[in-house]
Amino acid sequence: MLFARSDAVQSCWQFVEPILKYQAGDHALHGYASGTWGPKEAESLLRRDGRTWRFPCKNLANTHYCEL
């Protein structure tokens, strides 16, 4: 099929639209470089609840970049 059905498009917008509205407010979406573990803000978000990320590749390099 070359085109999406209208009900599929509407379902996608139900998911995407709240994200766009959130970003349009006083909230920023934090970007990060491809191949990294995500924005630094993600670490502080988990730290608030006493959690940490698990870095399975951290022993391979001294950066947050994972090369397998």
Answer with the residue of higher pLDDT: 66 or 31: 31
In this prediction, residue 64 carries a pLDDT of: 60
Note the pLDDT tens digit of each residue in 11-65.
999 999 998 888 888 887 788 888 777 888 888 888 999 998 776 665 555 666 6
pLDDT at 67 over 70: no
Q: DSSP of 22-59, one letter per residue?
A: HHHTT--PPP--TTS---HHHHHHHHTTT-----TTGG
Find how far residue 56's CA is from the centre of its chain.
Answer: 18
